[in-house]
Structure 1
Amino acid sequence: MGEACEIEAIMSVKRFDPILVCPEIKTDDGYYFLCNLDQNIAVIMQTVYCYEPSDKDSKNVADVLRQALARVLSHFYPLAGRLTLSPDMKLIVRCTNEGVPFVDAVADCKMEVLGDITVPDPPTLGKLLHTIHGAKSILEIPLLTAQVTRFKCGGFVLGVAMNHCMTDGLSALQFLDAWTETARGMSLTTSAYIDRSFLRARQPPCINYSHNEFMEISDISNMTNLYQEEPMVYRSFEFDPEKIAKLKKIAMEDGVIKSCTSFVALAAFLWRARSKALKMKSNQQTKLLFAVDGRSKFDPPMPKGLFGNGIVLACCLCTAGELVEKPLSFAVEQVQNSIKMVTEDFIRSAIDYFEVTRARPSLTATLLVTSWTRLSFNSIDFGWGKPSQSGCGTLPEREVALFLPTGKDKTTTMLLGLPVTAMKSFQELIQVK
């Protein structure tokens, strides 16, 4: 972390006042419905994209991106509104067309000072993102903000902060692609389908599953104190195809499972190693939560170009003793079984469960894995070429781990934060032998 402090000291960023960017064409006003799948993930996702100097001058990049944003917001107009609460105390968007805060900024150094941004470094990367300080709740934070920071070398960085209640990974990428296409003077490849009403709760609600993802777990392993007493450190770990093949071989060596995907092997391996590193007691219950894309689970499938959250949380639940003492195949089988459980009826049941209980997934003794390995965030081209690298400003919750593509030979980067002593143990446990 010493390197991050050094970077923070030598990089100074001058921000100009935010400009509110509104949809170029007048759009609907009133209120925009957010479904129950959206309610549980109202956290700000921060992403940063680095663009190296190119033959194309970047002096006017902020103007180009701001004007393109105004045009594309005509298709994604709820992003220009503000969150509020409906009469039944659910999140809903007030379509005020208040606008998206857009900041033009200048750094006093070359972009190479940033180094590798795949590991979150909030003090440094926070300078490249427009955040709202002093907000008392998520209702006071705009649904989308953008900042373009130009560097002395001619390169620039785009920092985007977006509320997850508006988009999952696929629809966030759809919005960014539409923004880039607009900036390059192209028509949109995919039209935005913004009506989420087909995901309304059933009347009467029908809950057909236990939905352990919402279950409260007692912290009998004193992890809460560990997180409070020690600083969080973030690390990234690369898993190339050879390491992943070894993991799969270990998972299948006792014959319990016949095959598994890379995601399943990595998620199971991470869940076990993190539980060990946090010194969970043998009888400590622990959960693994991960997002499963529900678009193809519906019959007929969810509408093409869905702008929203088409994901549902799958859940594995067992004791830490079972997880770490049994072979890796046990954890892998847990993950596989939870994936099989996700059907249209399961997703409808999860929607109805929230309608009845208003429960939110508990994260005590829980690991929440999000995978972006199939999302091409490194292909976002506004006309200055593709980003040389991209990363997260910070992870939204301390329980979150992120799988990212590296762009080289199907290697996956695993990114997470842990208290410093737990991270020391984790770094040993995550070695594939």
Structure 2
Amino acid sequence: MAGRLAISSEGKLIIECTGEGVVFVEAEEANCVIKDLGDLTKQPDLETLGKLVYDIPGATNMLQIPPLLIQVTKFKCGGFVLGVNVNHCMVDGISAMQFVNAWGETARGMDLSISPVLDRTILRTRNPPKIEYPHHEFDEIEDVSNVTKVYEEEILYESFCFDPDKLELLKKMATSEDGVVKKCSTFEALTAFVWRARSEALGMHMDPNQQTKLLFAVDGRSKFVPPIPKGYFGNAIVFSNALCKVEELVNNPLSFSVGLVGKAIDMVTDSYMRSAIDYFEVKRSRPSLTATLLITTWTRMPFRSADFGWGKPFFFGPVTLPGKEVILFLSHNEESKSINVLLGLPASAMKRFERLMEI
């Protein structure tokens, strides 16, 4: 994290261990108290939040930006905000929070509860590479329903709160409609529900030939054989996917889409993940996002365990809105088991999506 990104002679992204250090910025004290930021569990004020995370002025590509930038902003009430800007090429969310929590333990004079494992060869490609599975996450889907045209409208962002009662109702809907699904997780039910609703709201089901793809990251740490050592510092996630016609997704019971999500989770095995690593090494492609929904969930990230000596944080969250293909799942607050669903949609689609959220 103290080095700098570079491109190797083979055209691969590498870290040069220059020892230049992490960029640490202490901002001027804000002329307000933290409560003035408002209710951050709803749609945040991005202009304000953007001032709480430092970026390199004038940088035109990520090679000009250090892997980690930190900004501390103090408020009149005595509270402070820790803004963390980390390059996802370096670490996934779990490793990023492992670093922040270790930093907090060090600040409190404690031994590290989890020591970092820096051996990236654990997830290297096989020699020779072996692509053993179809990797539909990279498939290009044709936009036959012309969703691209809909996105020319103004994009509205909203956050929808699913409290424990609503989440339980979704799970009951998924398991009682036709008896196909016997049980499902909260993630499976909520993901299936918003995937179906977003596809319908965008009008993708109007063309019977339109396909849709669901992408979401699966933590592979415990799924590799043998499991990755605790404390592995890097990216240990793999994208899983589900693919179907939008017409099927919308017209079938919720159990249909829940079943697709469940199968996508179950297919992530050691051999599948090794195949995905080798696929990327051979093809050098990126997942296509046409007619695709990417679910990103922060609900299980150990944000609230970060403690620099003043206790646990009362809030955590992103300072940027998700891209048009992304839905973000966030914890509502520490006391509640509610989940906030944050997304952006064209204005006309957002009206339809709002109605579909009424359960």
TM-score tier after normalising by the smaller chain length:
over 0.9
Report if aligned partners of 1:80, 1:143 keep a CA contact under 8 Å in 2: yes
Matched residue, 2:231: 305
Report if aligned partners of 1:120, 1:234 keep a CA contact under 8 Å in 2: no
Any gaps of 5 or more consecutive residues in structure 2? Answer: none
Matched residue, 2:162: 239
Matched residue, 1:408: 335
Q: Which amino acid aligns with 1:294?
A: G
Matched residue, 1:164: 88
TM-aligned CA deviation for residue 132 of structure 1 = 2.4
Report if aligned partners of 2:34, 2:77 keep a CA contact under 8 Å in 1: yes
Query: Which one is further off, 234-243 or 395-404?
Result: 395-404
Matched residue, 2:62: 138
TM-aligned CA deviation for residue 396 of structure 1 = 5.2
Which whole-Å CA distance do the structure 2 matches of 1:300 and 1:409 have between them? 35
Which whole-Å CA distance do the structure 2 matches of 1:133 and 1:361 have between them? 30
Residue of structure 2 aligned with 1:155, choices 79, 84, 94 = 79
Matched residue, 1:389: 315
SS in 1 for 2:10: coil
Any gaps of 5 or more consecutive residues in structure 1? Answer: 1-78
TM-aligned CA deviation for residue 266 of structure 1 = 0.4
Which whole-Å CA distance do the structure 2 matches of 1:421 and 1:108 have between them? 39
| Residues 355-391 of structure 1, C-alpha deviations (whole Å, 9 max, x = no match) | 1110101111111112222222123211112112111
Which whole-Å CA distance do the structure 2 matches of 1:131 and 1:419 have between them? 29
| Residues 28-58 of structure 1, C-alpha deviations (whole Å, 9 max, x = no match) | xxxxxxxxxxxxxxxxxxxxxxxxxxxxxxx
Residue of structure 1 aligned with 2:282, choices 350, 356, 359 = 356
Which whole-Å CA distance do the structure 1 matches of 2:281 and 2:172 have between them? 42
Query: Which one is further off, 267-276 or 418-427?
Result: 418-427
| 2:302 matches 1:376 | yes
Gap change, CA 1:266 and 1:302, over 3 Å in 2: same
Matched residue, 1:284: 210
Query: 1:168-317 counterparts in 2 under 5 A?
Result: 168-227=92-151, 229-253=152-176, 254-280=178-204, 281-317=207-243
SS in 2 for 1:304: coil
- Residue correspondences, number: 353
Q: Which amino acid aligns with 1:240?
A: D
Gap change, CA 1:116 and 1:282, over 3 Å in 2: farther
Which whole-Å CA distance do the structure 2 matches of 1:240 and 1:392 have between them? 21
Q: Which amino acid aligns with 1:210?
A: P
RMSD of aligned Cα (Å): 1.5
Which whole-Å CA distance do the structure 2 matches of 1:419 and 1:333 have between them? 28
| Residues 102-143 of structure 1, C-alpha deviations (whole Å, 9 max, x = no match) | 111121122221012233432121011101243222222221
Matched residue, 2:262: 336
Q: Which amino acid aligns with 1:412?
A: I
Report if aligned partners of 1:404, 1:413 keep a CA contact under 8 Å in 2: yes
Which whole-Å CA distance do the structure 2 matches of 1:388 and 1:400 have between them? 25
| 2:355 matches 1:428 | yes
TM-aligned CA deviation for residue 402 of structure 1 = 1.6
Matched residue, 1:92: 14
Which whole-Å CA distance do the structure 2 matches of 1:160 and 1:339 have between them? 30
SS in 2 for 1:186: coil
SS in 1 for 2:317: strand
SS in 1 for 2:222: helix
Residue of structure 1 aligned with 2:49, choices 125, 131, 149 = 125
Gap change, CA 1:156 and 1:398, over 3 Å in 2: same
Which whole-Å CA distance do the structure 2 matches of 1:134 and 1:367 have between them? 32
Which whole-Å CA distance do the structure 2 matches of 1:230 and 1:138 have between them? 30
Matched residue, 1:65: none
Gap change, CA 1:115 and 1:161, over 3 Å in 2: same
Which whole-Å CA distance do the structure 2 matches of 1:283 and 1:297 have between them? 35
Matched residue, 1:24: none
Q: Which amino acid aligns with 2:26?
A: D
SS in 2 for 1:219: coil
| 2:2 matches 1:80 | yes
